[in-house]
Amino acid sequence: MSRLADPVDSYLLRVLVTLVTERNVSRTAIRLNQSQPAISTALKRLREVFDDPLLVREKGGMAPTDRALVLREQARRALIEIDAMLTGAEAFEPASSQQTFRLGSPDFIVASFLAGAVERFCRAAPRARLVVQPLGAVFDYESALATGELDVVIGNWPQPPQQLHLSVLLEDEVVCLMNRNDSRAGGLTREQYLAARHLVPLPYSQSQRGVVDTYLASQRVARDARVVVPYFELAPHLLVNTDLVFTTGRHFAAHFARTMPLAISTAPFDFPRMRFYQLWHERSHHAPAHRWFRKLLSDAASCVALAQAAQDSAPPVKHIPARD
């Protein structure tokens, strides 16, 4: 192999890690915000460099070779070192930065929070770029944070992963959302809740149940998940002409109750409050640009919490410091 020029760069390493993880060119292209032909070209180049097919066809899709699995772990470690070199202690100037920030978020994140965060981002860093990546049940967000594919991930895990840094962005009350004309809209009893037909989104984490089902299981009861949908944003539209009940956070419910013929009912169980975290990897923990971005998200969340507190005539949510 010639050493006159480096055979791979950080872009090819990121493609390698994502391809071996996703085992699919199209999904890799989406995750890396690239075209499918660009990823196919990168795969061809990687195969030439390493003299290995990396991905081979099998029944049901593609499978990584043994060499590909080894290379993925080596590439992950290399990317962490590269990112550490590029994110030193230099000052960060958002007004002139052209950096791209990548945020992973489920689709049920509070609309007012994301709108506020984007407004702040565009005002403070007009030349920078923000890419929001949706999270799904098969999305490996820990790997994405480790390789730099994502900078921050937002979610409401009952038990957030201990190996990542975190801070709490928001806390939210669990409520029920239903058709405005439903006779139960004034308030569900526990018996009515358990007898109801529920609309339930697919969890965005394969390893954990959501807050609602985790609590119900602890009470040794279960709800009737009669209709299961892939996206939270789809759920309110399916409530309009049905008797389905959707259990969600108050912020999310209030957003749709203002614009659709839906009603919010207090949940009949003492569900724990939903807690939304931002998670990030050690590789970006001290980087000035990423510290700025995380503070921007925290500030946007604080505005939402203060607005909700004023609306409820209650004090704002107590700040919970980041875990270092």
Name the residue among 162, 271, 138 with its Cα closest to residue 217: 271
d(CA 291, CA 277): 15
Query: Do the Cβ atoms of 145 and 281 come closer than 8 Å?
Result: yes
For residue 135, the model assigns a pLDDT of 80
Q: Which domains does the chain have, with CATH numbers?
A: 10-86 (1.10.10.10), 100-171+274-312 (3.40.190.10), 174-266 (3.40.190.10)
User: CB neighbours (10 Å) of residue 140?
Assistant: 16
Region label for 33, one of left (φ > 0), alpha (ψ between -120 and 50) or beta (otherwise) = left
Query: Do the Cβ atoms of 224 and 196 come closer than 8 Å?
Result: yes
d(CA 254, CA 127): 33
pTM for this prediction? 0.69
d(CA 212, CA 272): 8
Residues 6+ apart with CB under 8 A from 318: none
Q: What are 274's two structure tokens?
A: 């939903």
Question: pLDDT of the chain along its 324 residues, tens only?
Answer: 444 457 888 899 999 999 998 889 988 888 888 889 999 999 999 999 999 999 998 877 889 999 999 998 899 888 877 776 765 556 789 999 999 999 998 877 767 788 899 999 999 999 999 999 888 767 788 888 988 889 999 988 777 888 899 999 988 899 999 999 999 998 899 999 999 999 998 876 655 678 899 899 999 999 999 999 988 889 999 999 999 999 999 988 998 999 999 999 999 999 999 888 999 998 888 889 999 999 999 999 998 888 776 666 544 444 455 555
Residue type, 177: L
Residue type, 212: V
Q: What are 258's two structure tokens?
A: 């203002």
Q: What are 122's two structure tokens?
A: 């565009």
Three-state SS across the chain? Answer: CCCCCCCCCHHHHHHHHHHHHHCCHHHHHHHCCCCHHHHHHHHHHHHHHHCCCCEEEECCEEEECHHHHHHHHHHHHHHHHHHHHHCCCCCCCCCCCCCEEEEEECCCCCHHHHHHHHHHHHHHCCCCEEEEEECCCCCCHHHHHHHCCCCEEEECCCCCCCCCEEEEEEEECEEEEEECCCCCCCCCCHHHHHHCEEEEECCCCCCCCCHHHHHHHHCCCCCEEEEEECCHHHHHHHCCCCCCEEEEEHHHHHHHHCCCCEEEEECCCCCCCEEEEEEECHHHCCCHHHHHHHHHHHHHHHHHHHHHHHHHCCCCCCCCCCEC
For residue 314, the model assigns a pLDDT of 47
For residue 316, the model assigns a pLDDT of 44
d(CA 145, CA 152): 7
